[in-house]
Amino acid sequence: MKINIYYGGRGLLEDPSLFVIDKLVAVLEELRVEVTRYNLHEEKSGIATLPSTLKECDGLILVSSLEWFSIGGYMQQFLDMCWLYGDKEKISNLYMMPVVIATAYGEQEAELTLSRAWDVLGGISVSGIAAYVDSADTIEQNAGYLAYIEKKAEDLYRFVNKKTKKLPTSNTAIRNSLIKKSSIDLTPQESEQLSRIVADDGYVKKQKEDIEELAAMFKQMLGDGTKEPEEVYEDDIVKGFCTHFHPEKGFSASYVIVVTDISKNLIIDVGDQLSCVYGKDTEADVKLKADSSLLADIMDGKMTFQKGFMSGEITAKGNFKTLRMLDQIFRFTEK
């Protein structure tokens, strides 16, 4: 028999969960059970691949250290990965015992969370351990507590050894009828391979770079017939702003437009007079980012600053009331 233990705490020496794990391991090994322990805080860069380790065991113990609220991030991430990449057929035959040792309020709710999560995954949850303690000494110096932990380890052994059946629960019905599965029907082998890819930060980063490169290429292809922005639009942008300037009485503001594809900053100071020049990035009431082709569309009346911002083609930060004034003081739609 083989039991895996997944520890979701931070590995602090004062964590009482570690003492409970050691006690569980000692009892199980006396029963000739092979125990493998996974510390999720040490495996955090490869948590996506951990569901594959479930294929090697007959049962498991999920151990959560409750320091302030619920089961903790590492354990939640592990369960998420089991849902996304775990072999559901294998999980359906796995017995899981939850262990929650708390130094804050909520150990019973956290234990129930682990049990419900495992039921929804399709596995078999058994009664576990939920305790509130100040330190490991509280358990270590109490013979009754030690006996209780030993009994729970033995109960898990009996459940797994005898393949004890449990009555169906509503969680199973919810899983089968309400929770939508992935639209991609993957085999367990494909899920495991995908989990390795997800865990490979270098691979994911390279894929993102490739997607960005393809997006830029297609964007350039879709802009068929457009002229090179550095050669055509650089001076036209300044002229366009100067030609279509309509000052608003009493209104003054400063803008910086980062023209991304020519790597230049258009500095616009608005008042009774207009100053519009390329210069160094500086503080302004509003800072915008847009490429020269979009600015050309604005000057041709095909687009407005407001529409560009709402569509995400223009990014901006600063005073958004001042941002909206751009379409009033620069009236490109008036020919």
CATH of the domain at 67: 3.40.50.360
By DSSP bridging, strand 264-270 and strand 253-259 are: antiparallel
187, 233: one domain: no
CATH number at residue 297: 3.30.1050.10
CA distance 100 to 65: 6
190, 234: one domain: no
Q: Is the pLDDT of residue 202 over 50?
A: yes
186, 314: one domain: no
CA distance 255 to 266: 8
- Number of domain units in the chain: 2
Tell me, what's the pLDDT at 193? 64
CA distance 13 to 96: 25
Going by pLDDT thresholds of 50, 70 and 90, the confidence category of residue 45 is confident
Going by pLDDT thresholds of 50, 70 and 90, the confidence category of residue 252 is very high
Going by pLDDT thresholds of 50, 70 and 90, the confidence category of residue 201 is low
Task: With beta carbons less than 8 A apart as the criterion, state whether 14 and 135 touch.
Answer: yes
* 205 part of a folded domain: no
Q: Which residue has the higher pLDDT, 11 or 222?
A: 11
Going by pLDDT thresholds of 50, 70 and 90, the confidence category of residue 229 is very low
CA distance 74 to 107: 17
173, 314: one domain: no
193, 234: one domain: no
The DSSP call for residue 291 is -
Tell me, what's the pLDDT at 226? 45
* Least confident range of 137-146, 202-211, 223-232: 223-232
First to last CA, the chain: 82
Tell me, what's the pLDDT at 169? 74
Task: With beta carbons less than 8 A apart as the criterion, state whether 64 and 9 touch.
Answer: yes
- State pLDDT tens for residues 261-316: 888 899 999 998 999 999 988 889 999 999 888 888 898 888 899 888 888 889 98
Q: Comparing C-alpha atoms, which of 59, 85, 272 is closest to residue 191?
A: 85
Instruction: Give long-range contacts, CB 8 A cutoff, 24+ apart: 190-193.
Output: 191/51, 191/84, 191/85, 191/86, 191/87, 192/49, 192/51, 192/52, 192/85, 192/87
Going by pLDDT thresholds of 50, 70 and 90, the confidence category of residue 231 is very low
> Residue 127: CB partners within 8 Å, gap ≥ 6?
97, 152, 155
Percent of the chain with pLDDT over 90: 53
CB 51: neighbour CB atoms within 10 A?
25
Q: Which residue has the higher pLDDT, 5 or 210?
A: 5
110, 236: one domain: no
* 45 part of a folded domain: yes
Q: Which residue has the higher pLDDT, 182 or 312?
A: 312
CA distance 70 to 8: 11
* 220 part of a folded domain: no
Backbone angles phi, psi at 62, to 5 degrees: -100, 120
Tell me, what's the pLDDT at 174? 64
Tell me, what's the pLDDT at 227? 42
Q: CA quadruple 290, 293, 298, 302: dihedral positive or negative?
A: negative
167, 251: one domain: no
Q: Which domain holds residue 256?
A: 229-329
Tell me, what's the pLDDT at 177? 62
Going by pLDDT thresholds of 50, 70 and 90, the confidence category of residue 196 is low
The model's pTM is 0.59
Backbone angles phi, psi at 317, to 5 degrees: -145, 150
169, 289: one domain: no
Task: With beta carbons less than 8 A apart as the criterion, state whether 309 and 290 touch.
Answer: no
38, 173: one domain: yes
Last residue of a domain, one of 144, 174, 197: 197
Q: In sequence order, which ranges of the chain are alpha helices (DSSP H)?
A: 16-30, 73-85, 88-91, 107-121, 136-140, 143-162, 170-177, 188-199, 201-222, 229-243, 292-299, 305-311, 320-324, 326-329
282, 177: one domain: no
* 203 part of a folded domain: no
Task: With beta carbons less than 8 A apart as the criterion, state whether 106 and 70 touch.
Answer: yes
